[in-house]
């Protein structure tokens, strides 16, 4: 890259940063059906479904019941009006959510008092708020009805949970990060859940204080909440932006460190619902607690480039070098084709064109890791361990210590036949992988379980499959603590998939011959590099050519404190 190219890139990055700061508001009133303003709640509005009408047919009762799933107020009190009084307490709307394609299902009377509805699920939310995408055909739901003493039809048997289309689901529900800690109490780790926007604070607090992490994440994270700190009162009132979480009397005897960590988890979890402050209460007493410092996983918004001029961040007409590490990278006998830099910028995991991998320190030490033949770029975690895939074991992650010693990792990955790319999350608790299940390209995550010294010992529980991809994965990166991006290529087409952990998937075309995806979730932060050394920056629906003659773009695992 020339000085002129670097200057142009720096100007482009500044323009993008300014645009990100001046974005249009994305929240506001939506006029759709009956709307009721909410005070001290996360929801900007709430649907008010219609109640049963007199002399409604069985089909109309089922239709109204399904539509009332969009009204969670009063624990779905309007939906319960479509049920027989003896069944109202048996039906559990919080058992889960079936999300189907847009449109209103058509109830069909199939027999005396029996109505069936066919829907095509695209997603589901379980009783904990965990979201999974659904791939398959139509599903038939059955409802049984009976007439009451007044001759009015009411439902006496229905599937648990609610059924709602994608459009209304996105309006009624929202994703919220329930925050846990990594085992060193250094990082906050989000476990994304989907709850009704109304009374979101109650659902979030209940999931955190009285719940547990998702099964795939359980052994990889920790929480300050124990049996001694359970919710005394389920409802969490929010007054002037302050959420009041009522705990049992045992919370008074907890150590200050524990209370401070509890405060931190609650404060960051409820921030997603627009809560400005949290008060932990025992009766009328407010417990004294202060949020602890947690390390950020944000990265420098500038790309970290390897060019003929050196290794560093673009700054004006030159590169801003990283002390020690930049010279260590440029001093290598051959330029690496993949680079990942640790959060402190004191070391980097690299892969060379022959597939061999190494750890490079800022002091200039080069520690060989895997031998030639690997096609997977290595990833370095916060504890200094490097993750990659050996050429002879294409379906099993391999872990190396900072001194190059192989770490024994217990791995059970039934069905996995190949790993094409992997990366450890910046908090060190999760491993994201794109590869193949049998012959099907898939994206999945698994929790990383470590010993007291931070050494990885196994992948925890069952891995969670996030998406089925249409073609082979080429590159993978964490954009933030909740989102990964995957570059895929096949049949002459290249795409970037942005997948939220516990949320939806966005797919967009990518420049032809792209070989690497990197960046962040900030506006203009997503970037790809093609085989010719052209760096593209994603802006709106297009890819902008922002630099040429780029030898490599390093993945950043954080920023120094």
For residue 19, being part of any structural domain is answered with no
pLDDT tens sequence across 316-343: 889 999 999 999 999 999 999 999 999 9
- How many other CB atoms are there within 10 angstroms of residue 323's CB atom? 9
Which long-range contacts does 23-27 make (Cβ < 8 Å, 24+ apart)?
23/523
* Domain co-membership, 398 together with 341: yes
For residue 83, being part of any structural domain is answered with yes
3-state helix, strand, coil in the chain (%, to 5): 15, 40, 45
For residue 102, being part of any structural domain is answered with yes
For residue 3, being part of any structural domain is answered with no
Q: Which residues of 281-298 are buried (b: 16+ CB within 10 A; e: fewer)?
A: beeeeebebeebebbebe
Which residues contact residue 201 at a Cβ distance below 8 angstroms, ignoring those fewer than 6 apart?
41, 42, 236, 238, 243, 270, 273, 275
Number of domains within the chain: 3
Q: What integer pLDDT is reported at residue 163 of this predicted model?
A: 97
3-state SS string for 154-179: EEEECCCCEEEEHHHHHHHEEEEEEE
Range of the domain at 187: 176-286
Residue pair 173/166 in contact (Cβ under 8 Å)? The answer is no
Residue 304 CA to residue 338 CA, distance in Å, equals 12
Q: What integer pLDDT is reported at residue 528 of this predicted model?
A: 97
207's tokens: 């999931």
Which residues contact residue 435 at a Cβ distance below 8 angstroms, ignoring those fewer than 6 apart?
395, 416, 417, 418, 419, 420, 421, 441, 442, 444, 473
Q: What integer pLDDT is reported at residue 13 of this predicted model?
A: 54
Give the domain-ending residue among 252, 268, 286.
286
Q: What integer pLDDT is reported at residue 375 of this predicted model?
A: 83
- The CATH number linked to 90 is 3.10.450
Q: What integer pLDDT is reported at residue 38 of this predicted model?
A: 33
Residue 500 CA to residue 476 CA, distance in Å, equals 13
For residue 45, being part of any structural domain is answered with no
Residue 238 CA to residue 193 CA, distance in Å, equals 20
For residue 310, being part of any structural domain is answered with yes
pLDDT tens sequence across 474-518: 999 999 999 999 999 998 899 999 999 998 889 999 999 999 999
Q: What integer pLDDT is reported at residue 12 of this predicted model?
A: 57
* Domain co-membership, 191 together with 150: no
For residue 36, being part of any structural domain is answered with no
For residue 37, the SS3 value is: coil
Q: Which residues pair with 421 in a beta bridge?
A: 434
Q: What integer pLDDT is reported at residue 136 of this predicted model?
A: 77
Q: What integer pLDDT is reported at residue 21 of this predicted model?
A: 40
148's tokens: 């009451």
Give the domain-ending residue among 147, 171, 195.
171
* Domain co-membership, 467 together with 341: yes
Residue 512 CA to residue 536 CA, distance in Å, equals 11
Q: What integer pLDDT is reported at residue 24 of this predicted model?
A: 30
Question: Which residues of the chain, if any, have pLDDT below 70?
Answer: 1-45, 135
- The CATH number linked to 439 is 2.120.10.30
297's tokens: 């996983």
Residue 300 CA to residue 200 CA, distance in Å, equals 32
């Amino acid at each position: 890259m020339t000085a002129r190219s670097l200057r142009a890139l720096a100007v482009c990055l500044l323009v993008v940063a300014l645009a990100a700061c001046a974005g249009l508001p994305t929240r506001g009133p939506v006029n759709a059906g009956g709307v009721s303003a909410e005070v001290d709640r996360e929801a900007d509005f709430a649907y008010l479904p219609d109640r049963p009408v007199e002399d409604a047919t069985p089909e109309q009762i089922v239709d109204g019941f399904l539509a009332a799933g969009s009204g969670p107020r009063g624990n779905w009190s309007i939906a319960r009006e479509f049920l027989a009084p003896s069944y109202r307490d048996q039906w559990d709307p919080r058992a889960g959510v079936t999300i189907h394609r847009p449109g209103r299902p058509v109830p069909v009377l199939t027999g005396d008092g029996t109505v069936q509805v066919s829907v095509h699920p695209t997603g589901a939310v379980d009783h904990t708020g965990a979201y999974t995408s659904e791939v398959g055909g139509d599903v038939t739901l059955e409802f049984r009805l009976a007439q009451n003493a007044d001759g009015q039809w009411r439902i006496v048997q229905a599937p648990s949970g609610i059924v709602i289309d994608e459009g209304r689901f996105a309006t009624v529900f929202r994703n919220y990060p329930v925050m846990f800690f990594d085992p060193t109490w250094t990082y906050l780790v989000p476990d994304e859940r989907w709850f009704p926007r109304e009374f979101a604070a109650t659902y979030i607090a209940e999931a955190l204080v009285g719940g547990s992490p998702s099964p795939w994440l359980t052994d990889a994270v920790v929480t300050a909440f124990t049996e001694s700190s359970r919710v005394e009162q389920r409802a969490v009132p929010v007054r002037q932006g302050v959420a009041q979480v009522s705990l049992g009397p045992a919370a008074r005897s907890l150590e200050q460190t524990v209370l401070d960590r509890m405060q931190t988890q609650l404060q960051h979890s409820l921030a997603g619902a627009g809560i400005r402050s949290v008060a932990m209460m025992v009766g009328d007493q407010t417990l004294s607690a202060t949020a602890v410092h947690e390390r950020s996983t944000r990265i420098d918004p500038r790309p970290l480039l390897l060019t003929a001029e050196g290794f560093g961040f673009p700054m004006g007409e030159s590169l801003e070098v990283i002390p020690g590490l930049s010279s260590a990278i440029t001093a290598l006998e051959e330029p690496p084709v993949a680079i990942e830099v640790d959060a402190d910028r004191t070391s980097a995991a690299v892969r060379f064109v022959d597939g061999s991998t190494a750890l490079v320190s800022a002091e200039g030490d080069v520690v060989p890791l895997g031998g030639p033949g690997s096609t997977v770029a290595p990833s370095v975690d916060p504890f200094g361990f490097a993750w990659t895939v050996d050429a002879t074991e294409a379906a099993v992650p391999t872990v190396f210590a900072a001194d190059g010693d192989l770490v024994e990792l217990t791995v059970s990955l039934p069905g996995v036949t190949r790993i094409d790319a992997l990366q450890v999350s910046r908090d060190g608790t999760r491993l994201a992988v794109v590869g193949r299940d049998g012959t099907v390209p898939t994206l999945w995550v698994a929790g990383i379980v470590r010993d007291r010294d931070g050494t990885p010992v196994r992948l925890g529980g069952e891995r969670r499959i996030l998406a089925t991809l249409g073609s082979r994965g080429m590159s993978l990166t964490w954009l933030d603590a909740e989102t990964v991006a995957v570059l895929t290529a096949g049949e002459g087409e290249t795409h970037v998939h942005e997948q939220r952990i516990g949320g939806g998937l966005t797919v967009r075309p990518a420049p032809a011959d792209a070989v690497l995806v990197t960046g962040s979730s900030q506006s203009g932060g997503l970037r790809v590099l093609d085989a010719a050394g052209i760096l593209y920056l994603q802006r709106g629906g297009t890819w902008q050519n922002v630099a040429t003659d780029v030898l490599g773009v390093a993945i950043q695992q954080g920023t120094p404190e």
